[in-house]
Structure formats: structure tokens, C-alpha cells
Amino acid sequence: MSEVLVLVDHVDGAVRKPTFELLAIAKKLGTPSAVFIGDAGSASGAVESLKKYGAEKVYTVDDSEVKGYLVAPKAEVLAQLVEKTSPAAVLLVSGGEGKEIGARLAVKTGSGLITDAVDVAEDGTATQSVFAGNYTLTGKVTKGTPIIAVKPNSASPEEGEGAGTVEELAVSVSDGAKGAQIVAAQPRQSTGRPDLTEAAIVVSGGRGTGGDFAPVEKLADALGAAVGASRAAVDSGWVPHTFQVGQTGKTVSPQLYVANGISGAIQHRAGMQTSKTIVAVNKDEEAPIFELVDFGVVGDLHSVLPALADAVEARKG
């Protein structure tokens, strides 16, 4: 079986969950080979976790020379690997970086690119959700090496020992690829909650919170959920932009989405409509969000959420 290259998404060697989901998809398409571009010193830890989730091979590329440059060097590394291994497909995480690496790689290798996939079948047919989740589209790459960017939470990681054979690669990166450099980076302050795009449960607040996110956070913590927000809440300065769910924020597709004080404008729907189960609390019974929900409560979130959080804690007992 041909190899399927999976670009590893990691922070200083700590592999992020969507990569394990990609390995599960790669297994359906061929032999999963992870591509780790990072500090040589942190590679061994990453290799262990990649092995655990089924990587048969791990290509490690020391990034000391290109660290801090935006996507272009990674695209060059992958292009060289595509040349070398003629893979059945290249899988990336459909986030800002993954999509842009895929874009450059597609041009370099003369290959088709599919972004925002929510599923990939054995024959490489990808499913996408478009127009704010109102349409489902299936399609296939027909030229070159299929390059598919898959959204987080589209597959379940599968544990299963892969061989994890390490192959260190020396690759050359052109000076042209070093045009855009990260001159300062402030890692996101940890909230102690799951990452918004990876979380199984997301609890969001909107205009209806009136700026008081405490009830939203309390419920999120009771459920072990990530906290999200509508654009109205972000624009009001109540929470940072990184919390925003919607067209110009994060697209999430958790098992459960709890929308609180959010009316449900099309831009917000675009970011959450593919959630498996949707629940809403809103004072306005006419709010469009109620058209989407599996269960809705017409009521004041400031009294409903704390009571719900207590009920959740009580049931956890």
C-alpha cells in the first residue's frame, strides 16, 4: 500500500489531537507516515505518541534553520517528500496554517486541494460542509497527489501500535521561503479548558450574557467543555477574539454545542451548524437559534446556567 503523509501539528513536540485523527483517516487510505518538522530534541516524544496512534513511519525534519518562518518552508519540505515517496495522499489539519501549507504544496506539485473536509472515504472521496453548513458536498482530487485538509473532530483517534520507524531527513529550504518571519509570539494563556476547535463539548455565550461570562464558564467547567463566544460578545470586548465561533472565527463541530444568549445569525451558524447535538438557552423565543436546536430553553441564562451547572455536578455525584 502507498504511504499517506500526515503533517504533524505540534507545539514544541507536543502533538495536538487532530493529528491523531488524521492518522486514523490515513489508515483507511494507505500506510500512515507522519511528517514531524520540529526541534530534533523534541522529536522522540512526538514519535512515541505518533506510534501509539498508528504511524508506521515517522519522517523527522530538524527545523533549526527554518524555525520561525511562516508556512513556505514546510510546504517545501512536504514537496520534497511527495517527490520522494509518491504518496497516495497528503493530509493536513484544516486550520490557518495547514490550509496555507496545502495551498502552496498544491501549486508546487500540480495537485488538487480540498480544504475543510469533515470526512474522507477509503477511495479518497472527501465530504465538505459548505454555505454555513447548509450544504454537504462530496468531491475528489482528480490530478496530482490528493492534498486534503481535514477539520478537527472529523474522526476518532485510534490507538494501535504502528511500527513508527524513524527516518531522519535532511531537506533543503530555499532562501525565498524565508520571506515572512515570526518576530514575536505570545503563546495563548492556558485557560485550563480544552482547545476550542478540539473540544467534545463547547459552551458559548453571546450578547445575552450582557458581558457576564461567569455562568457560561461555570457550566463549561461542570461539563469539561471549551468556552466559545459569538461575534457580538467579542466585538463588545467581553472575551478575546480567539473565543469567537463563526465565519470569521473558529469553526467547531463538537459532540455538543450549548449556545447561550446567542441569536443564531448566519455568520455564527457557519461556525457551529455541523455540531452533532445543539442546545440553546435564550430569553427570546423567536431567536433563530431555536430552529437548529435539539433542545431549547426559553429563559434567562443567568438563572438557567448556574442551576444547570449544579444539576450536572449533582449527577456526576
Partner 1 sequence: MNIVVCVKHVPDATADRKFESDNTVDRVGVDGLLSELDEYAVEQALQLREKREGEEIEITALTVGPEKALDAVRKALQMGADKGAHVSDEAIAGSDYLATSLVLAKAIEKLGAEKPVDIVFFGMASTDASGGVVPAMVAERLGLPQVTLASVVETQGDQVRIKRDGDTATEVIGATLPIVLSVTDQSGEARYPSFKGIMAAKKKPVETYSLADLGVEASEVGAGAAYTEVADTTARPPRTAGEIVTDEDGSGAEALAGFLASKKFI
DSSP character at residue 250: B
Angstrom distance (rounded) from CA 249 to CA 192:
21
Among residues 129, 204, 209, 230, which is the contact residue for partner 1, using CB under 8 A? 129
Does position 130 interact with partner 1 (CB under 8 A)? The reply is: yes
| Nearest of 185, 104, 196, 191 to residue 151 by alpha carbon | 196
Nearer to partner 1, 52 or 108 (CB): 108
The CB-of-118 to partner 1 minimum distance in angstroms stands at 12
By CB under 8 A, residue 142 contacts partner 1:
yes
Task: Considering the complex, state which of residue 95 and residue 157 has its C-beta at the smaller distance from partner 1.
Answer: 95
Rounded to an integer, what is the distance from CA 206 to the centroid of its chain?
Answer: 22
Which one of residues 122, 159, 175, 285 is an interface residue with partner 1 (CB under 8 A)?
Answer: 285
Q: And the C-alpha cell for 30?
A: 494507505
Is 188 in contact with 280 (CB distance < 8 Å)? no
Using CB under 8 A, pick the residue from 159, 172, 184, 237 that binds partner 1.
184
Determine, following the binding rule CB under 8 A, whether residue 86 of this chain makes contact with partner 1. no
The reply to whether 299 sits near partner 1 by the rule CB under 8 A is: yes
Binding mask 241-260 for partner 1 (x = CB under 8 A): xx----xx------xx----
Q: Which stretch binds partner 1 (CB under 8 A): 27-35, 36-44, 156-164, 301-309?
A: 301-309
Kindly state whether residue 136 participates in binding partner 1, applying the rule CB under 8 A. yes
Residues 6+ apart with CB under 8 A from 230: 204, 205, 206, 207, 244, 245, 246, 262, 263, 265, 268
Q: How far is the CB of 312 from partner 1 (least distance, A)?
A: 5
Which residues ranging from 186 to 215 are in contact with partner 1 (CB under 8 A)?
Answer: 186-188, 201
* CA distance linking residue 33 with residue 58, whole number of Å: 6
Q: Answer for the pair 104, 141: CB distance below 8 angstroms, yes or no.
A: no
